[in-house]
Structure 1
Amino acid sequence: MTTASWLAIAMATIVSAALAQEGQTQSEEIEELEEIVVSASRIELKASEVGSAVTVITAEEIERRGDRYVSDILRDVPGLAVNRTGSFGAFTQIRIRGAEANQTLVVIDGVEVNNPAAGSEFDFGSLLVDNIERIEVLRGSQSALWGSDAIGGVINIITKKGQKGFRGFASASAGSFATHDLNAGFSGGGERYRFAFDASRFSTNGISHADEDDGNPENDGHTISQGNVSFGVTPIENLDIDFTGRYTRSFLETDGSIFNVSSLTDLDNDATVYQRYGRANVAYDLFGGAWSHRASVAVSDVDSKNRSNNATSFTSEGDKLKLDYETTYRFETESIPDAEHAATLLLEHEKDTIQTSSMANEVDIKTNSIAGEYNLSLFDDLHLSLSGRFDDSDNFEDEMTYRVTAAYNLRETGTRFHSSYGTGVKNPSLTELFGFTGTFVGNPDLEPEKSKSWDFGVEQGFFEDRLVVDLTYFNSRVTNLITGSGNTAVNLSGTSPAQGIEVSADAEVLDNLNLIASYTYTNAETADGTEQVRRPRHIASLNVNYRFLEDRANVNLGIDYNGDQKDTRFSPTFARSIVGLDSYTLVNVNATYDIHENVQLFARGENLLNEDYEEVFGYGTPGVSGFAGVRVDF
């Protein structure tokens, strides 16, 4: 029996026994405000009204777990596989439901941050958790709502914004690998204005990117300087004008391969990446909010400089510009009692541009899109949506994508059924079309990748919803899958399938004891039946949170299991072969104690089992480590 199976059995046994005993002594129903989801539709929806599979991670959960990188938080989300290529800050990929990493769209404060100069993929290696309000993970093909890059799903990250009053905070910590972490900020606002600012500085000596077990003792350090700013005004009633900006500088020492050496080797290489994101948004409501309008402009710019032996070896710049206008009209119909309608129209213009040191001129792709969505709620129990999109691109044939969802709440039994079906499209990246380095030749004849996916799930509450379990089956089919072949990229013929099961459980075992568990089975293959790399079939997690001493103290235990997986190995002549990576289990503990209502001490232990493992073939991973610090709020 696998570790994942044991985790599931232990979870079910503990929760059932504890909840049964708790139910004998507690009769008062716990009422909470229902969670709102913003990424599953063009309008805000209650979680019970969403037909797509979505997971929401709140700021409170992030604080309790104590992780520093967003990618580590996402390891607990059903359907997600995380791979980091070596030390802290190294290139980190996330795959959803067996889709490729560049088939996941990442959005931060409304800005699409996939890098056009990096295969239209987002690197999670330098994304810290500082000042994040919530993370929403939307799974399944979402191109009808979000356009290209959303075949696997969407990861939407929302940072904290200013509210009425004033708040400030500062934190500092240190620990293993000569790690130091500083974070500070403030926020506030009045009746017609709001503002927020935070800054972070994270540094570590790290470990060797090239696996130390292969004879590579040199540590590779990492530093991040990060800043976020937002401000907004409400000059007149129902009119909001908001601006957000984000800046990150990441410096990372790296290793690499040399000819006639079959594994990674300690090298004097490094990379510096500058990320700049910004967005301006105007929202105006009419008729008491029945008719809303929103217009925005968003920009992202990512500059990368790679060096070898203190000499610049390669540079790249990826830019994205997006303009959009969206209007939604909400209405009710007397002919159908308890029927609520929302119709949305969306217009978009997007331009992606790249320039590298190996290219004579910059290249770009422009896309104009029109999309619509219709949401219908009947009798407060049945919620339906239909959306469609038309994309007109300079480089490809016009594309049509669509999505339908349904959610039905059976209140008598505490059961919720949810399902979705959607089509997706992923345009070839600019690097695949026009080349990237002097050794990679672009293929201008590439066709967009296309997908059809569906899922069906049942969510069931027990013990007056103190335990909520969700079981979802998913299935996707991708055609024209793009893959590397020699020194270029090609479309694979046939259909590449992926299917699996996601199980999640959220339990309030006692008033001060909470458990969250998940398990995912994924079977992702290419058209010829070959198992796709970096898609473990079994992934499981268990998170236990315990509050005590009148809630002044908190202990959080996290267990992440990653099953066996395949990966790619490059020979001394750069030929490819497939190798297997063993399963591993990571155990982390985070503890906090409030010595004052405004002062908190915290300590965290990671990889407490000192697991020796690989997430990517040939790259090292950290052993057991510890960190501690203090946080002050004022």
Structure 2
Amino acid sequence: MNPLIFVGVAAAAAQQHLPASDDADAVIVVTGAREPVLVDQAPVSATIFDRRQLESLSSPVASDVLRLSPGVSVSSTGPKGTQTQIRIRGAEANHSLLFVDGIRFNDPAAGGEPRFELLTTDSLSRVEIVRGPQSALWGSDALGGVIAVETARADAGTRFSGLGEYGSHDSVRASAQFAHRAERFELSGSAGLVRSDGIDSFGNGGERDGFDNRQASLKAVFHPSLSGEIGVVGHWVEGKSQYDGFDPVTFQRADTLDATENRIFAMRGWGSFDWNGWSLLLDADYLDSVNRNRLGETPLNSTFGQRFTAGGQVSRQLGAHRFTAAVEHEREDFRGRDQTYGGATDQDRSRHLTAFIAAWRADWAKAISTDVTVRHDDFSASPGATTLRAALLVRPTSQWTVHVAYGEGVAQPTFYDLYGFFPGSFIGNPDLVSESARGWEAGVRWRGSQASLGVSAFTNHLRNEIVDTFDSTTFLSSTANVDGKSRRRGIEFDAQYRLAGIGDLAVNYTYLDADDRQAVGGVQLREVRRPRHSGNVALTGSWGAFDWGASLAYVGKRADTDFDLFPARRIILDDYVLASLKLGYKLTREIEAYARVENAFDDKYRDVVGYSTAGRTIYAGLRFRFGE
């Protein structure tokens, strides 16, 4: 079962069971519970970027927006278009669950990780990040947190928008969106392109490593009544990226001609109805992914993944209590094909799960509410798991909110973990058990008419962590569950201030402590690519004909491992500051000219040891809007 995506006050009005709010600008957290809840009444730590903020910041790459959220760290193996990993509160890269229009978008053909390097912002109207273990709500992979993005829906009439942009490294960006609503029917869609000749990611003056990303989406929704809707949405994403890999003789990083081609097609259908205190949601989604790797013109290998999910959910409001029951079934298929070894290491694997969920939300008084969710996942390829999420929300006054939450997370072993990888040097471990986490968080928030402040403290313990192992005798790699536990704890602070007539200012800071843990064989391992200190500042707004978005992202020092050395050595990556600015001017009511700069301070930084990133880049473009 996937979360049904709603946005804004209109959605709140449509969902009659949502708690009341006196704030006309109230927004909704869609993944903080099994059903949407108002953000001030959600017992979770969440960050939301709306369409206005996304357009003002104007970054084409979603990971640049995600890094502006507290608790989120981003690492890319080189320039844009190369593998990009998101870690929430120090969790692993495959512990973030991504939903796109309610479709589970983690790629079963890429180790179960979301393909953030393929996720662009031009078609998005909303980005939501919910931090902390959420597996009781959404199942496997929601161990570190959930990221949900949505494309636009039609609210009234007809509107068109789009942009064209050109900039550094022969970069081109173009997109178009439309939305139309007539009485009970709405239709919306988008198409976009982002490409660049890129830079030399190895950083020794070799050839450029460019990328090409294309996407399209289409969404149709029919409203048979005021309290019901039937919808279908489809997404197509295709990316091509050049990168520098490893020398096949020395197995060290080198200026190679590696390239990868990726394609994801996904669609979802749903129906939701409310009647006399009852709510019903039925939905199904399908994802098909293909990843092809080559060296120059020589094919190396390919992976293929498919996922089908279907589920149903029913809820009942009884006074101040809301009860929800849901069931889900999911099937995943994986195929690996190699050309290098003549197909000797091909893979054909499949697995499935069935899950049962029960949730109970209660308002015990105007100032006190609780939220409890229990989920049991019956996995076919590993032992089953039961997870719990329990939260208490206290509102002593209309401006203050205090919450305490306990959450559990689970992540199945990936197909790679269980069955290995086709080059023949990586052997899987079918005896693995699922990774599991237990986490607490407590937070307090104050919200006034022009400003808000919040602070949260969290601690998470990861057990049965799956790590790579290496046998120096056979030179074979495999996987194993860690004997001990990995601890993550920290503090997040965030503040927002509305500058009258100018814009909105957001500031946040995160302190993260990720401890050592005991690994298989007594080997000490430590988390990598997680900064102890990070912080962000973002300003978005407009004045007269001008529109702007500016951001500063500070990433503190963090550890990484250099495998070019033998034995591999732990190194420290320098801290850095990324500054971005977009300034637009309305030529007419419908057309805006703008310029923007990324990495304005021309900081020389690396997210992953051995891979360079772009310096200062400058872009200029035109944006148009009709019907708004």
TM-score by length of 1: 0.90
Aligned partner of 1:208 in structure 2 is: 200
| Corresponding residue number in structure 1 for 2:341 | none
Report the alpha carbon displacement of residue 530 of structure 1 after superposing the two structures with TM: 4.8
**Contact 2:253–2:564 (CA under 8 A) maintained in structure 1:** no
Deviations 1:391-425 (A, max 9, x none): 1111222211111012212226x211112101111
SS of the equivalent of 1:39 reads coil
Partner of 2:613: 621
After TM superposition, give the deviation of residue 83 of structure 1 in Å. 0.4
| 1:41 pairs with 2:33 | yes
Indicate yes or no: 2:464 matched with 1:480: yes
Give the C-alpha shift of residue 184 in structure 1.
1.0
2:491 aligned to which of 486, 489, 501:
501
Q: 2:309 aligns with which of 283, 300, 322?
A: 322
Distance in 2 between the 1:448 and 1:174 partners? 46
Aligned to 1:150: 142
Counterpart CA distance in 2 for 1:237 and 1:409 is: 32
% of aligned pairs identical?
Answer: 27
Greater shift in the superposed pair: 47-56 or 505-514: 505-514
Partner of residue 385 from structure 1, selected from 371, 384, 387 = 371
Q: Supply the distance in 2 between the matched residues of 1:510 and 1:232 (Cα, whole angstroms).
A: 37
Report which stretch shifted further, 184-193 or 86-95: 184-193
CA shift at 1:261, angstroms?
Answer: 5.2
Unaligned runs of 5+ in 2: 1-21, 339-344, 471-476, 519-523
Partner SS state of residue 265, structure 1: coil
Q: Which residue of structure 2 lines up, in the alignment, with residue 121 of structure 1? A: 113
Matches within 5 A, 1:580-591: 580-591=572-583
Deviation at 1:236, TM superposition (A): 5.0
Task: Kindly indicate whether the alpha-carbon contact (under 8 Å) linking 2:597 and 2:619 is maintained by their aligned counterparts in 1.
Answer: yes
Instruction: Give the Cα–Cα distance (whole angstroms) in 1 for the partners of residues 285 and 23 of structure 2.
Output: 38
d(CA) in 2 for partners of 1:31 and 1:270? 50
Alignment of 1:142-541 (within 5 A): 142-210=134-202, 212=203, 215-236=204-225, 238-259=227-248, 264-287=253-276, 290-332=277-319, 340-358=320-338, 359-411=345-397, 414-437=399-422, 438-461=424-447, 464-486=448-470, 487-528=477-518, 530-541=525-536
How far residue 531 of structure 1 moved from its aligned partner, in angstroms, is 3.6
Taking the aligned partners of 2:80 and 2:436, their CA distance within structure 1 comes to 34
- Distance in 1 separating the partners of 2:347 and 2:302: 13
Aligned residues of 1:132 and 1:157 also touching (Cα < 8 A): yes
- Which residue number corresponds to residue 606 of structure 1? 598
The Cα shift of 1:208 comes to 1.4
Alpha-carbon distance in 2 for matches of 1:356, 1:554 = 48
Contact between 1:262 and 1:570, CA under 8 Å: does it hold in 2? no
Give the whole-Å Cα distance in 1 for the aligned partners of 2:596 and 2:526.
Answer: 36
Indicate conservation of the 8 Å contact 2:383/2:433, yes or no. Answer: no
Whether the aligned pair in 2 keeps the contact of 1:262 and 1:572 (CA below 8 Å) is no
Tell me: CA distance 1:367–1:376, structure 2 relative to 1, closer, same or farther (3 Å).
Answer: same
Distance 1:612 1:388 in 2: 47
Question: For the Cα contact (< 8 Å) 1:209–1:255, is it kept in 2?
Answer: yes
1:579 and 1:588 map into 2 onto residues whose CA distance is 28
33 and 545 in structure 1: CA distance in 2 versus 1, 3 angstrom threshold: closer
What amino acid is aligned across from residue 411 of structure 1 in structure 2? Answer: T
Name which of structure 1's ranges 365-374 and 414-423 shifts more when overlaid on structure 2: 414-423
Aligned pairs, number: 587
Contact 2:123 2:191 in 1 (8 A): no
Question: 1:541 offset after TM fit, Å?
Answer: 0.7
How do 1:548-563 and structure 2 match up within 5 A? Answer: 548=543, 550=544, 552-563=545-556
Worse overlay, 376-385 or 190-199: 376-385
C-alpha separation in 2, matches of 1:164 and 1:510: 28
Distance in 2 between residues matched to 1:512 and 1:239, nearest whole Å: 39
Q: CA deviation at 1:383?
A: 2.1
CA deviation profile, 1:214-245 (whole Å, cap 9, x unmatched): x2331111111110100121245544210000
In structure 2, what is the Cα distance between the partners aligned to 1:149 and 1:216?
Answer: 39
TM-score, scaled to structure 2: 0.91
* Whole-Å separation in 2 of the counterparts to 1:241 and 1:526: 49
Structure 2 CA distance for aligned equivalents of residues 446 and 530 of structure 1: 19
Looking at structure 1, the residues matched to 251 and 554 of structure 2 have their Cα atoms a distance apart, in angstroms, of: 29
User: Which has the bigger relative contact order, CA under 8 A and spacing at least 6?
Assistant: 1
Equivalent position amino acid for 2:336 in 1: T
Q: 1:556-584 deviations in whole A, cap 9, x for unaligned?
A: 221110000011211267x5332110000
Aligned mates of 1:191, 1:381 — CA distance in 2: 39
1:417–1:458 CA contact under 8 A, matched in 2: yes
Query: What per-residue deviation string (whole Å, max 9, x for no partner) do you get for residues 56-102 of structure 1?
Result: 11111111111111100011101000001101111100000010010
Question: In structure 2, what is the Cα distance between the partners aligned to 1:307 and 1:513?
Answer: 47
Cα deviation code 1:502-555 (max 9, x no counterpart):
00010124331431011001111232475410111001111123532x3x2123
Of 525, 530, 538 in structure 2, the residue corresponding to residue 543 of structure 1 is: 538
Q: Report the alpha carbon displacement of residue 260 of structure 1 after superposing the two structures with TM.
A: 6.2
User: For 2:420 and 2:564, how far apart are their aligned partners in 1?
Assistant: 23
Cα distance between partner residues in 1 of 2:347 and 2:190 = 37
8 Å CA contact 1:163–1:195 kept in 2: the answer is no
Q: Quick check: 1:263–1:618 contact (8 Å CA) kept in 2?
A: no
Letter in 2 for 1:100: E
Residue 353 to residue 526, structure 1, CA distance change in 2 (3 Å): farther
* TM superposition shift of 1:331: 2.2
Q: Once the two structures are superposed, what CA deviation does each residue of 1:283-323 show, in whole Å capped at 9, x if it has no partner? A: 12222xx1011111111111011111201101001111101
Q: 2:67 aligns with which of 50, 72, 75?
A: 75
Q: 8 Å contact 1:163–1:190 — kept in the other structure?
A: no
Residue type matched to 2:138 in 1? W
1:361 CA displacement: 4.5
Quote the residue 2:17 is aligned against: none
**Alignment check: 8 A CA contact 1:162 1:195 kept:** yes
Q: Is the 1:48–1:407 contact (alpha carbons within 8 Å) kept by the matching residues of 2?
A: no
Contact 1:600 1:632 in 2 (8 A): yes
2:563 corresponds to 1:579:
no
Partners of 2:211 and 2:595 lie apart in 1 by 21
Q: For 1:64, what is the secondary structure of its paired residue?
A: helix
Distance in 1 (CA, whole Å) between partners of 2:348 and 2:74 is 32
Spell out, residue by residue over 1:343-401, the C-alpha distance to the aligned partner (whole angstroms, 9 max, x if none).
Answer: 11110001111100145442111100100111112333222100000111112222111
Is residue 52 of structure 2 the alignment partner of residue 57 of structure 1?
no
Helix, strand or coil for the counterpart of 1:73? helix
